[in-house]
Amino acid sequence: MEGRGHPFLPSASKRHQQSSQMKRSIPFEIFRYAAILAAIAVTLVPILWMVSMAFKPIGEWSATGAELTWWPKHPTLANFQFVFGESANDLIVALDHTALKPILSSLLSAVFGTVIAMSAGTAAAYGLSRFGSGQNLPLALIQLRLFPPMAVMIPVMIMWSFLNFNDSWWGLALIYGIVTLPFAFWLMKTFFDDMPREIEEAALVEGCSRLRVFTRITLPMMRAPLASAALFVFILNWSDYLIALLLTTREWVTIPVYMASLSSSMTGQLYGAKAALGLIAAVPPVIMGIAIQRHLVRGLTFGALKQ
pLDDT confidence of residue 7: 52
Mean pLDDT by runs of 10 across the 307 residues of the chain is: 48 55 70 89 89 85 68 84 73 73 94 94 87 73 74 86 90 92 88 83 83 85 87 92 90 91 77 90 90 67 48
Prediction pTM value: 0.81
In whole angstroms, give the CA distance from residue 292 to residue 287: 9
pLDDT confidence of residue 87: 64
- CB-count burial class (<10 Å; 0-12, 13-18, 19+) for 221: middle
pLDDT confidence of residue 176: 93
In whole angstroms, give the CA distance from residue 213 to residue 211: 5
